[in-house]
Amino acid sequence: MASKERIQRLKEETRINILDAALHIVKEEGWQALSMRKIADVIEYTAPIIYEYFANKEAILLELTRKGYLILTRDLQEVRAKHESPAKQLEAMWLAYWDFAMENKELYQLMFGVEMNCCCDMVATLEESEGPYNEFSQAIIELMHIKNPTKDMVCLKYYTFWSVVHGLISINILRRGYSDEMNQQVLKDAIGTIIKSIERA
């Protein structure tokens, strides 16, 4: 009865194919162009088949969102491990956050609703979505020389970082045209300023 397992593996493969196909279409033609029938075309099936792997289109988006959070969290962890001081960690992590967004524009759009009607209410239910915050908040706490900072204090600093970086990214995805130098300058300036404000406190 090893065929059961083989079939199981094939099913798993098709599931992955669906997700890959979706992302492929989006990278080629944008989120607006993604449809169930197009996905079916790519995986060489008809549309209803997809509903045996995902409850609906939103479920596919949610799974891709999850994937995005996993990649981002892994990137942040990797970069964080490369640095000793929390200040350098934080700077490198936010730059990695930027890089993730630029290298995975489509996933970023999906995760944070940039020029896209994402599945935001559902995202809140994904535990993976807490990955980035966990990484950042640890580094923030280390950087603070207060013994037991309240969650609100940490959250406030994270929120400050996140706002400016996410804002910068959103604007760049929206209206491409700002030069790389300007982006890097604003990005590093802002990150540096916030880090200093944490160190001073």
Partner DNA sequence: TACTTTTGCCTAACGCTGTTAAATAAATTA
Partner DNA sequence: TAATTTATTTAACAGCGTTAGGCAAAAGTA
Contacts with a copy of itself, residue ranges (CB under 8 A): 31-32, 112-118, 120, 124, 152, 155-156, 159-160, 162-168, 170-171, 174-175, 178, 182, 185-186, 189-190, 193, 197
**Residue 13 contact, options a copy of itself, DNA, none, Cβ 5-8 Å cut-off depending on partner type:** none
Residues 47-66 binding DNA (CB under 7 A) are: 47-49, 51-52, 56-58
Spatial neighbors of 4 by CB under 8 A, at least 6 apart, are: none
Q: Which residues of 47-76 are buried (b: 16+ CB within 10 A; e: fewer)?
A: eeebeebbeebeebbbbbbbbbbebbbebb
- 115: left (phi > 0), else alpha (psi -120 to 50), else beta? left
Using CB under 7 A as the criterion, what x/- string covers residues 173-192 for binding DNA? Answer: --------------------
37 binds DNA (CB under 7 A): yes
- Let me know if 45 is exposed, middle or buried by CB neighbors in 10 A (0-12, 13-18, 19+): middle
Q: How far apart are CA 132 and CA 152, in angstroms?
A: 17
What is the closest distance, in whole angstroms, from the C-beta atom of residue 9 to DNA in the complex?
A: 11
Residue 38 C-beta: closest distance to DNA, Å: 6
**Applying CB under 7 A, which residues contact DNA?**
1, 3, 7, 11, 34-38, 45-49, 51-52, 56-58
